[in-house]
Chains A and B, each alone.
Chain A
Amino acid sequence: MAATFFGEVVKAPCRAGTEEEEEEEEAERETPEDREVRRQLVRKREVRLLRRQTKTSLEVSLLEKYPCSKFIIAIGNNAVAFLSSFVMNSGIWEEVGCAKLWNEWCRTTDAVSLSPTEAFCVFYHLKSNPSVFLCQCSCYVAEDQQYQWLEKVFGSCPKKNMQVTILTCRHITDYKTSESTCSLPSPFLRALKTQNFKDPACCSLLEQPNIVHDLPAAVLSYCQVWRIPAILYLCYTDVMKLDPITVEAFKPVLSSRSLKCLVKNIPQSTEILKKLMTTNEIQSNIYT
């Protein structure tokens, strides 16, 4: 036991090995009630992939059901806003399905009846070329749910002839560098790609010792293991909420091979972005 600065007592980690024995005893002491609670929790945290029209669960994974040559995934509200304003406004995109999940980060407390408007992970395909898929994921997918998400979306035996592009944001204070963060030109882009991705990246590669976290890391690792060409564009920014400067920092990605053919109306995109900003502004008076 150790006392901290504030006088609280914390259990110091013990290397004597007696802790393991205690854990085993605890597991034996688990009651049927505990097991039931555990089962309910697992059910609550299940990731469900639903078809658009019928709202029924898909029996197979999304990419096993639909052929896919290009998969663009936006994770986080700025990346989602970028795809909405710059990619989705040129061409007709049809919603194919959505992934519903609940974890402690969700704003709603009801895990059972998440309404369609709260679908956090929506999948679209381009009507003129149905093998081009897009995913808008604006919710947080917890560590224990990432594997389920990957299984339900990619499946256990994915086809290798597709290319995956992931867009996401991270706060600039996570960027490890010998320079001071005040001198960094925030926001800025960095890329990380799998071994099979042969095209050039639209920005510099992510330097060591920086790492990628959460769902983008899970998707990239999955693609590396299954030898799928994939690239992650990571935008380091000092504004994590919806911000037009952060969204526009993704613009170099529009020159990449996977997105070039999908983008047509850039001036219109800035208008759409402005509209998104005004509709999404959460009234908070904490900061002025």
Chain B
Amino acid sequence: MASRYDRAITVFSPDGHLFQVEYAQEAVKKGSTAVGIRGTDIVVLGVEKKSVAKLQDERTVRKICALDDHVCMAFAGLTADARVVINRARVECQSHKLTVEDPVTVEYITRFIATLKQKYTQSNGRRPFGISALIVGFDDDGIPRLYQTDPSGTYHAWKANAIGRSAKTVREFLEKNYTEDAMADDSEAIKLAIRALLEVAQSGGKNIELAIIRRNQPLKMFSAKEIELQVTEIEKEKEEAEKKKSKKTV
């Protein structure tokens, strides 16, 4: 049944599916995991880096990109599609600033990206963008935001979410471990993002990239050393928790 209705984006199947959009969501699952967490005073984006070939320049393989000084995004899916969407979003951020003399709100730029994606699900001869994005930032009112978009052009606000490969496992981990009280502490939010990625990362802390935005501060990318420190701390805490558990059972 699917094969007769999945060749053109503008064709609905009899049971109401847009197969090309659903297939685009499968393409997203081929990208490595990205996780976003909204704390009280911080927003965190963590990604599982793809291993870089020996001769490849690591700086050009990026999953976390700044859209403006106060907004950044991480994506999962087709690299080239992401590049096009990011370029359009960056231009829109500057155009908005010039026209309205105000920086974009996180919701505005998310809506822009989502509308762009939706257009490609309703156009003749084009295919949808094969990416999902996690967009984070602080608005002028000082409130932290985290939004997620997907290839169909929908967008929603989240407290914490994951996209890409094994997103379901990471989301379940976040559901179990995210608490509003803990997120009041910036370092707890950072640790939660790293712990969530360690659940599914193939080579542990070496392949994790992290970015944070604090209120009224620019985007900060963590260096490999800083991430290693965090991972060591997390492992220590895990060991101590396990020792306590074994003492209790004894």
Chain A residues engaging chain B, CB cutoff 8 angstroms: 5-6, 173, 182, 185-186, 238-239, 243-245, 274, 277-278, 281, 283, 285-288
Residues on the B chain within 8 Å of A239, using CB = 29-30, 165
Interface code B18-62, partner A: CB below 8 Å = 1, 0 otherwise? 000000001101111000000000000000001101001000010
Q: Give the dominant DSSP class at B's interface.
A: loop
**Is B198 on the interface with A (CB-CB < 8 A)?**
no
Report which of A6, A244, A278 forms a contact with B51, defined as CB distance below 8 A: A278
Known: A5-B7, A5-B11, A239-B29. A288 touches B203 (CB 8 A): no
> Does the CB pair B202–A244 fall under 8 Å?
yes
Smallest CB gap from B200: residue in A:
A245
**Is B76 on the interface with A (CB-CB < 8 A)?**
yes
Q: Given A186-B168, A288-B82, 7 other A-B contacts at CB below 8 A?
A: A182-B168, A185-B168, A238-B165, A245-B169, A287-B30, A288-B61, A288-B77
> Does the CB pair B202–A277 fall under 8 Å?
yes
> Does the CB pair A288–B32 fall under 8 Å?
yes
**Is B145 on the interface with A (CB-CB < 8 A)?**
no
A121 to B94, CA, bound (A): 57
> Does the CB pair A288–B75 fall under 8 Å?
yes
User: Can you show 9 pairs from A to B with CB atoms below 8 A apart?
Assistant: A6-B8, A238-B26, A238-B29, A239-B30, A281-B51, A286-B79, A287-B30, A287-B77, A288-B82
**Is B116 on the interface with A (CB-CB < 8 A)?**
no
Smallest CB gap from A5: residue in B:
B8
Residues on the B chain within 8 Å of A285, using CB = 61, 79
* Min C-beta distance of A175 to chain B, whole Å: 13
Smallest CB gap from B27: residue in A:
A287
Question: How many residues on the B side are at the interface (Cβ–Cβ under 8 A)?
Answer: 29
Most buried by A among B11, B29, B78: B29
**Is B166 on the interface with A (CB-CB < 8 A)?**
yes
Residues on the A chain within 8 Å of B80, using CB = 286
Smallest CB gap from B25: residue in A:
A182
Residues on the B chain within 8 Å of A283, using CB = 53, 56
Known: A5-B8, A274-B203, A278-B51. A287 touches B31 (CB 8 A): yes
Interface code B65-102, partner A: CB below 8 Å = 1, 0 otherwise? 00000000001111110100000000000000000000
A274 to B203, CA, bound (A): 8
Residues on the A chain within 8 Å of B169, using CB = 245
* Min C-beta distance of A183 to chain B, whole Å: 9
**Is B63 on the interface with A (CB-CB < 8 A)?**
yes
Smallest CB gap from A185: residue in B:
B168
Residues on the A chain within 8 Å of B202, using CB = 244, 274, 277
Residues on the A chain within 8 Å of B203, using CB = 274, 277-278
> Does the CB pair A288–B63 fall under 8 Å?
yes
* Min C-beta distance of A200 to chain B, whole Å: 28
Residues on the A chain within 8 Å of B168, using CB = 182, 185-186
CB contacts under 8 Å to A, within B197-238, are 200, 202-203
Smallest CB gap from B32: residue in A:
A288
Smallest CB gap from B75: residue in A:
A288
Smallest CB gap from B74: residue in A:
A288
Residues on the B chain within 8 Å of A286, using CB = 78-80
Residues on the B chain within 8 Å of A173, using CB = 26
Residues on the A chain within 8 Å of B51, using CB = 278, 281
A173 to B79, CA, bound (A): 23
CB contacts under 8 Å to A, within B165-210, are 165-166, 168-169, 200, 202-203
A272 to B136, CA, bound (A): 38
